[in-house]
Chain A
């Protein structure tokens, strides 16, 4: 990380409960660290609510709105941190509705004792990722809770995005014959976080796939592709995303196991831990349902987007129903379901 924490660390090296008290100390935290690190310009006085007219002027069509909370442990993992996630997760949720993120709120829940330097690192990631995603942070909130009542930092972000005119992306538009695409190899994020959390050493460091997805979506929209449905397979992984869409759209999906891209280190880690890569979380991948005739064009665009080299066509919508079927490498079909609950390492 370039630069240094702007708050004099010798004075307050860690977050204190008093930093959340609404008094001078809190003002100092906001003015000295949070706002400048997030890139909120000096003199841009924060009101109780942000006005968005300017940001949204010229955004023809409709608005999209979403919110999500980020509670990842550890805060830092190969390929990202909670700040990267808190921006990517929300702008990606907007992108999955075809919306370009315009404005973001950031709400921080800090644990007493959190090193100020750690907070600064997280805020710096938040800002860099927001800049990369082309979204402005316009409002926020900060609370401090007692030591032991949080894992360092929890972040909630909410985002408003603009859906370009004529764009309509939702499960109801999925049709029989649609091609199912994935924008890259799956499962990196879940394994990267778990490996760091549990102190597991693999031969290759597995980096999270965490990244903003709007550039890939924009490229496909700009090319005039008719995206029927998009979904980012986060918790629950690719399997849950597909099962959810199949149910919502009332269609049967046939998934080709051999076509699903999984990086060899991720596959090896899954094997060791007893996980199915189809159930492991991604944070920078999308699943796209597009008309079969546009599948190749969409794939070409996905493959030229950052991190999209492994984009692949992984399945086809067969017809009405609501089930996802996985065709194994040996030609055997089996039904695919969401995982039952928390992913837990197996016993032997």
Chain B
């Protein structure tokens, strides 16, 4: 099948018919990944599904879950003379407590959007007089490249490269959502691209502990509807299993080479998440043997306590407790032009998806 086949309207229709024929009562499923959320809103999948099926949007936007305090650290670094701050484009317009990285650039900071952490290493090699910091945000998908960048910088003997590391892991966030006393999620569509790296093993304990079906799901309409169908079949049959509906890309064992690279450079650390507070083992931090590449250590950065979120209810949105368009500020006091929180500004954010695909009157 070509990628166009995964958007084929006739296949989508057949899957919708199968879903309608499967579902007999209301079910609430969470899609983890912000990319899936956007695909769902963009194609209108939530409106094509039978009314008994509710899709709740998960915390799977790496930009959105990065806490304000770390963004403030990045902005502060960008303002230092001699420092070049590199990150993925998405990260540049997310507000910190007072400003964002694009504004820091406009104020004279050297802030550059890169496509890969390796691009930042190349900059460090080309400009030895500057301290190049890569602001490493993202889930398991971006961690191997961040690890490769550190290894490469070490191999090249670059003393002017470091990571401001905010890498996070998906399974601890899923566990936190499921462990909440009022959790209403009955099934998960897990992010397929995370599994292409990490494999399926990390999800089995969640299925067992919380008795919830988890279906590994891709990002095209046909993928997402297949994931929904498999999840619903389990739920209707009273089952809770781990299923891979994205076998074309995600193998059971994932990508062992990438995992080895991540394991060599990073270790599990507790990390603060926007909306979910601090979760044990939910972050990746540089191992002691790579501490020289830690920007926090190199620049003696301290994290200030997170500011009061004010009117922004991003935390509830990120936990699937509040649909973005039901936030009182949505579309009026909070828009992509004047965002109150990260989910409205990030291209993967749930609030941005509702605003973009439903309009401010969503």
Contacts and interface: CB of A to CB of B under 8 A. Distances in A.
Interface of A: 198, 200, 268, 271, 274, 323, 328-330, 332-335, 337, 340-342, 344-348
B359 A337 contact: yes
A345 B62 contact: no
Interface magnitude class on chain B: 35 or more
Interface in B347-362: 347-348, 352, 355-359
A334 B358 contact: yes
A21 to B, nearest CB: 29
Interface in B310-340: 336-337
B44 A332 contact: yes
B296 interface: no
B88 to A, nearest CB: 4
Contacts, number: 84
Given A330-B221, A335-B359, A337-B359, A348 B44 contact: no
A348 B35 contact: yes
Contact of A335 (B13, B115, B357): B357
Interface stretch (B90-98, B179-187, B203-211, B269-277): B90-98
A345 B88 contact: yes
A330 B348 contact: no
B62 A348 contact: yes
A198 B345 CA distance: 23
A342 B345 CA distance: 12
Interface stretch (B134-142, B242-250, B252-260, B287-295): B134-142
Q: Determine the main DSSP class of A at the interface with B.
A: loop
Given A344-B93, A346-B347, A347-B137, A330 B359 contact: no
Secondary structure type dominating chain B contacts = helix
Contact of A198 (B12, B115, B221, B346): B115
Closest 3 CB pairs of A and B: A332-B44, A344-B89, A335-B359
Interface of B: 3, 7, 9, 12-13, 35, 41-45, 47-48, 62-63, 88-93, 102, 113, 115, 137-139, 141-142, 193, 221, 336-337, 345-348, 352, 355-359
B13 to A, nearest CB: 8
B90 A328 contact: no
23 contacts: A323-B359, A328-B43, A329-B43, A330-B43, A332-B43, A334-B358, A335-B359, A337-B356, A340-B352, A341-B93, A341-B337, A342-B93, A344-B88, A344-B92, A345-B89, A345-B90, A345-B115, A347-B62, A347-B142, A347-B347, A348-B62, A348-B139, A348-B348
A168 to B, nearest CB: 32
Given A274-B347, A332-B43, A334-B42, 10 more contacts: A271-B3, A328-B43, A330-B45, A334-B358, A335-B357, A335-B358, A342-B102, A344-B89, A346-B348, A348-B348
Contacts of A345: 88-90, 113, 115
B347 to A, nearest CB: 5
A135 to B, nearest CB: 36
Most chain A CB within a 10 A radius of its CB, from B42, B45, B141: B42
B337 to A, nearest CB: 6
B113 A344 contact: yes
Contacts of A334: 41-42, 44, 357-359
B9 A347 contact: no
Contacts of A328: 42-44
A341 B138 CA distance: 22
Contact of A347 (B7, B47, B48, B348): B348
Contact of B9 (A330, A335, A342, A344): A330
| Candidate in B41, B357, B358 with the most chain A CB atoms within 10 angstroms | B357
Contacts of A335: 357-359
Contacts of A344: 88-90, 92-93, 113, 347
Contacts of B102: 342
Contacts of A332: 43-44, 47-48
Nearest to A335: B359
Nearest to B359: A335
Contacts of B35: 348
A342 B93 CA distance: 9
Contacts of A198: 115
B328 to A, nearest CB: 20
Nearest to B194: A348
B32 to A, nearest CB: 12
Contacts of B13: 330
Nearest to A340: B336
